[in-house]
Each structure stands twice: as structure tokens, then as C-alpha cells.
Amino acid sequence: MNCLIIDDNPIARATLQQLATAVIGLHVVCECSTAIDAYNILQEKQVDLLLLDIEMPDMTGLELTRNLGNKDLIIIFTTAKKDYAAEAFELNVADYLVKPVTPARFLQAIDKAKSLLESRKEEVKLVHDEFIFIRDSNIVKRLKLDDILYAEAMGDYVKFHTRKKDYVIHVTFKATEDRLPASRFMRVNRSYIAAIDKIDTMQDGGLVINGKFIPITETYKKAVIKRINVM
């Protein structure tokens, strides 16, 4: 697992570097002191995990995370304060480490990141933008993208709704959003991703797919209206 360390404090970077070096399978590809430098590095290097400080000059770790959008990255926040926990939760990061970071707590966060990475690689795989492979009751099945009406977040699981059957898969909602092609699917609130061509009607506060009313939050409303090209 390739890791990028971002922290404006050189001592904090050195501490994380030392902790990461001791973990088999975790490779620090680079470290930097600003979010801007991190953004540029991510354009050139293959990175799976960010160890990201929150309070940095010019651009915070929270702002960088939002600017990265749906980029397929696992993020662990590192911070000297607990005040940002709620915002971190909203951004669906893997973990939230409060400095000083202990080896035991660091390993716990890395184990969580490894599990997330494996779930992305094994449980939801796109093939030619036509179908995905899902693990249903320990059986790997092929599910056509055209059959998916919408996806629903259920804690550590995601439910894929089709006209014939629903499939509950152990995978993160963010991984699902990253894997489903944006040309065909769109997030409409915190818990639902809708197939654009399966929308039957759009009403005040939501849309209807196959008789199911799905609310649209203000965060996504303008984008949804634009995508479905309302006249």
C-alpha cells in the first residue's frame, strides 16, 4: 500500500515516517509540508493512502480532501485537536488520529485502511463499464450496470437495488461511488446513488425510481437538475 505523508510540522512527518516504515506492506512514496504540494504529487505518483494533517497553512487537510473529490484514495487524518471529528466523519475518511500518535493506534488505523483497500479491489470491480462483480453469500456474481436502479448505504454495507432482486454487499459507500461510472450514476444525498437513466419522475425534494421516493439534499440538487437536463 503506497502512502503519502502530508504535515507542515517536520517532527510530525518524521514520526509518521518512522511508524510507517515499521509496517510491512506500507511504503511511503513521499512526504510533503503543504496540501498544494500533496495535490501535485498525486498527479504524478500512484498513492493509495494519505496520512493527512488537518491544520496547515494556505490549504487545510479538510479543504484538500474536498478538492480531491471522488479520487480513489483512503485518507487518515492526523491532528493535534479533536474538534474536527464531525467534519472528518462527513468526509468518510478511514480514521482520525489525534497527536501524539501511538504505535498501537497507528497500527489500528493502518489495518482499517488495508481492509478498505482490499474491499475496493475484490468486492466491486468494473469491467468495460458494462457490469461489476459482487460477492453475494460467498459467491462472486456478475451484475450488469444496466440492471442497477440505485445503490443505498447501509453502514459498512451497500445495497444494490434492481428490479428483480436486491444485493447487500460488504463495501464502503465511497468505494461504490468511485467505482460506478459517473456517466451513468450520480449521488443524490448522503446515502443514495441513483442510475440517471432509471429516474422516472422528479418532485419537490426528491426523485422516484421504480416507485421508490429518494430525497435529494440541497448539496446535490443543482447538480442533479443539471445532469438530467430539466427544461
Average pLDDT, integer, range 148-165: 92
Domain limits, the chain: 2-122, 126-227
Percent of the chain at pLDDT above 70? 92
Do 12 and 41 meet the contact criterion of CB atoms below 8 Å apart? no
Q: In angstroms, what CA-CA distances link 26 with 45, 51, 131? A: 15, 12, 31
**Which pLDDT band, with edges at 50, 70 and 90, does 29 fall under?**
very high
Q: How far apart are CA 116 and CA 134, in angstroms?
A: 15
pLDDT digits (tens, 9 = 90+) for 62-121: 999 988 875 678 999 999 888 887 787 778 788 999 999 999 999 999 998 988 887 666
pLDDT at 229 > cutoff 80: no
Average pLDDT score over the chain: 87
Cite the DSSP H helix spans in 69-172: 85-90, 103-122
Q: How far apart are CA 183 and CA 157, in angstroms?
A: 23
* Cell numbers linked to 162: 434492481
Which superfamily is assigned to 126-227 in CATH?
Answer: LytTr DNA-binding domain (2.40.50.1020)
- Give the pTM: 0.55
Percent of the chain at pLDDT above 90? 52
Average pLDDT, integer, range 18-43: 94
- What pLDDT does 137 receive? 67
Residues 59-68: contacts with CB within 8 Å, 24+ apart?
Answer: 59/34, 59/35, 60/35, 61/6, 61/35, 62/87, 62/88, 62/91, 63/35, 64/6, 64/35, 64/38, 64/39, 65/91, 65/93, 66/91, 67/39, 68/39, 68/42
For residue 127, how far is the Cα from the chain centroid? 20
Say whether 33 sits in a helix, a strand or coil: coil
Burial class (CB within 10 angstroms; exposed 0-12, middle 13-18, buried 19+) of 180:
buried
Average pLDDT, integer, range 181-192: 90
- What pLDDT does 128 receive? 47
Better pLDDT: 142 or 30: 30
Fold of 2-122: Rossmann fold (3.40.50)
pLDDT at 171 > cutoff 70: yes
**Which pLDDT band, with edges at 50, 70 and 90, does 224 fall under?**
confident
- What pLDDT does 110 receive? 95
- What pLDDT does 70 receive? 55
